[in-house]
Structure 1
Amino acid sequence: MSFKATLARHPGYTVLITCGVFATLLFLARGPAYTTTVNALAPSKYARSLAQTLNEEELRYQKVLHDREALVRKWGPTADLVQAFPPRDDFYTLWDFFIPAFQCPHHVERVGTMGDGGKWVCGLERIARQKECVIYSFGINGESSFEAELLQRAPGCQVWGYDFSVKSFGPEIERNTSLRERAHFYPWALGPSNNHGPGSNPPVYTLPTLMDINGHNFIDILKVDIEGAEFASLDKFLEFFGMGHPHSPAGPALPIGQMQIEIHARGGTGHDEFAPFKKWWERLEAAGLRPFWAEPNLVYVNLVRGVRPDLAEYSFMNARGRHALVSEDFH
């Protein structure tokens, strides 16, 4: 029996099919079922403007600062009574007070080798679109997978590397002619004051001095791994831009986009105790730097068994100024 004859003989089929077709068209017109559910929720960070996202993240971060003070009161009750790495009973370490609570509003990804040497970077896709960008790397130690991948993925970038303990970048750059053309190495040290006269071994430069020598007024990516010298060096960097005290009026925006740093909270740095470390960290925060990633250096703990975990990798973004990570129209 033909389909037409079937409809004529069983008119109920006609009604059923008509209803089915109508329901299908209505469903397609409304789109996927999940759309209504998603739209009923608060907009995601990708649906909001960059300024709105940064503002909301800052509000969340301010809550973390409040929670930090509560934790100090719990284990202190003042900062000078808190132990950075308590030997027993107190269930915390220094790093529990300084968590990476600020979410980068862009893609966050691991750049460089897995394990020691690689770093977590915010918004590399935005930096890579710039015609020019500047990378500073302090502490090479014969391994340059981080710097090499940045150069490969961001053709407008150049890197300036400094390390007095080696003679060049690592093989990842030195064996690649195209990358080596955009890489500039100097066997110098980063420090809180300049000491590069005759007989200085090694020559020491402040970060503002190096920027002046190189003709730079902004650093897109700053990597610092200088075995404890980061505390005094960055203190002077902040002071140079009027940001030497957590409660001082905000000066001009710090001229960096983000910073990847290994922090050495160990003896000899002056910051192996909680109170001076907290003061130093708060200087970074007062300058607009917000931590978005952290990981302890467990390689160090594994190699020197029984030591406290006083080395940690942190990634900060600068939430102020006008640069690729905070400006909608920056390119």
Structure 2
Amino acid sequence: MRRSNSDNFILGRLLLSEKNWYEAVLLRHKYMEKKSLEKFKPWGDTGFTVIWNLIAPTFDCPHMRKRIGSIGDGGKWVCGFELLEETKKTKAPCVVYSFGVNTESSFEAEILQKTNCDVFAYDMTVSKMGQQVSGIGSKLTFKKVGLGVNNTDTLKTLATLMEENGHTWIDVLKIDIEGSEFSALEGVSNAFNILPFGQLQLEIHLQKFPFPRFYPWWEQLESKGLRAFSSEINLNPCVHSKRDPPELMEYSFINVRTNHMLVPPGFQPTV
């Protein structure tokens, strides 16, 4: 099949981004060669956020990048939101999964307002979503359950939920589950050869996970094809206590190991 000029442009940008990402990974590995994971100081001797510099986003979203949801805590950076907005007119299907909504549902509300996406929201800590989705939830499904490695009374795996919903693909996956993201995503990575989602919006709570375990966990995500294109620090803990380091970070990733809305055929990741 002949590619369009638009696909060729996007493909070119992806190839350049992958090259830039890979060079940054090599630089990171060289930096870490002389470091011990057990002795590495995540925040540096003088308080610099060394860890976030070490894994800074070096991959570019090849489409428009837009922040969806409220200013501050709750909003997420999405790649290619204009493609999702087109579904409002075309009625094309799209699927969004959101884990961790609490009472802040502005992200889900904006997606429901501006796209044709079906939104499946999950949170084991609340019985209903925030008021932002009031009156606009005709394509919204909410269940009081969390994302887990195994199925329990309160947790379900991503594979189980997708099977229950009849889905094989998720366009946008959002995870904000207060430190449980490490085990949950490890479980997802082990369960799927090709990750079943196009992009991931993730809040990392590093105070719940020591660096010696975090570093290989991060590289496992990259090995599965996830490329970080955005990061936004959450300074709430630092504001409340000047002694607390900046341990909360919002990351956004594109999955480059398969073709989908953001990645046209012809792209091959380096790793």
TM-score of the pair, normalised by structure 2: 0.89
Is structure 2 residue 186 aligned with structure 1 residue 204?
no
AA in 1 matched with 2:182: F
Instruction: Tell me the alpha carbon deviations over residues 170-201 of structure 1, each in whole angstroms, 9 at most, x when there is no partner.
Output: 11112x2xx211111111111111112xxxxx
Residue of structure 1 equivalent to 2:202 = 261
What is the CA-CA distance between 1:83 and the residue it aligns to? Answer: 1.9
AA in 2 matched with 1:289: L
Q: Secondary structure at the match of 1:129?
A: helix
Measure the CA separation in 2 of the matches of 1:142 and 1:91.
33
Residue of structure 1 equivalent to 2:99 = 138
- Pair 299,92 (structure 1): closer, same or farther in 2 beyond 3 Å: closer
Measure the CA separation in 2 of the matches of 1:222 and 1:90.
32
AA in 2 matched with 1:132: P
Measure the CA separation in 2 of the matches of 1:204 and 1:68.
35
- Pair 326,223 (structure 1): closer, same or farther in 2 beyond 3 Å: same
What is the CA-CA distance between 1:85 and the residue it aligns to? Answer: 2.6
Is structure 2 residue 196 aligned with structure 1 residue 213?
no
Residue of structure 2 equivalent to 1:292 = 229
Is structure 2 residue 67 aligned with structure 1 residue 110?
yes
**How many residues matched?**
258
What is the CA-CA distance between 1:148 and the residue it aligns to? Answer: 0.7
Residue of structure 2 equivalent to 1:29 = none
Q: Secondary structure at the match of 1:57?
A: helix
What is the CA-CA distance between 1:90 and the residue it aligns to? Answer: 7.0
Residue pair 1:84, 1:272 contacting (<8 A) in 2 also: no
Q: Secondary structure at the match of 2:38?
A: helix
Match of 2:114 among 131, 153, 159: 153
AA in 2 matched with 1:292: F
AA in 1 matched with 2:40: V
Measure the CA separation in 1 of the matches of 2:104 and 2:139.
17
AA in 2 matched with 1:151: L
Structure number with greater CO (CA < 8 Å, separation at least 6) is 2
Measure the CA separation in 2 of the matches of 1:90 and 1:70.
22
Q: Secondary structure at the match of 1:96?
A: helix
- Pair 90,46 (structure 1): closer, same or farther in 2 beyond 3 Å: farther
Residue of structure 1 equivalent to 2:11 = 51
AA in 2 matched with 1:238: S
- Pair 299,46 (structure 1): closer, same or farther in 2 beyond 3 Å: farther
Q: Which runs of 5+ in 2 are unaligned?
A: 266-271
Determine which structure has more spread, i.e. the larger CA radius of gyration: 1
Measure the CA separation in 2 of the matches of 1:217 and 1:92.
38
User: 4+ runs of 1 displaced by more than 6 Å?
Assistant: none
What is the CA-CA distance between 1:71 and the residue it aligns to? Answer: 2.3
Match of 1:129 among 63, 77, 86: 86
Further displaced range: 301-310 or 61-70:
301-310
Residue of structure 2 equivalent to 1:166 = 126
What is the CA-CA distance between 1:165 and the residue it aligns to? Answer: 1.5
Residue pair 2:112, 2:137 contacting (<8 A) in 1 also: no
TM-score of the pair, normalised by structure 1: 0.74
Measure the CA separation in 1 of the matches of 2:172 and 2:113.
15
Residue pair 2:10, 2:63 contacting (<8 A) in 1 also: no
Measure the CA separation in 2 of the matches of 1:107 and 1:152.
19
Is structure 2 residue 22 aligned with structure 1 residue 62?
yes
Q: Secondary structure at the match of 1:263?
A: strand
What is the CA-CA distance between 1:217 and the residue it aligns to? Answer: 0.5
- Pair 89,118 (structure 1): closer, same or farther in 2 beyond 3 Å: closer
Residue of structure 1 equivalent to 2:250 = 313
Residue of structure 1 equivalent to 2:216 = 279
AA in 2 matched with 1:134: V
- Pair 48,213 (structure 1): closer, same or farther in 2 beyond 3 Å: closer
Measure the CA separation in 2 of the matches of 1:145 and 1:69.
38
Residue pair 1:228, 1:265 contacting (<8 A) in 2 also: yes
Instruction: Tell me the alpha carbon deviations over residues 287-316 of structure 1, each in whole angstroms, 9 at most, x when there is no partner.
Output: 110000001111232123311111110011
Residue pair 2:43, 2:245 contacting (<8 A) in 1 also: yes
What is the CA-CA distance between 1:263 and the residue it aligns to? Answer: 0.2
Share of identical aligned residues, percent? 39
What is the CA-CA distance between 1:92 and the residue it aligns to? Answer: 4.4
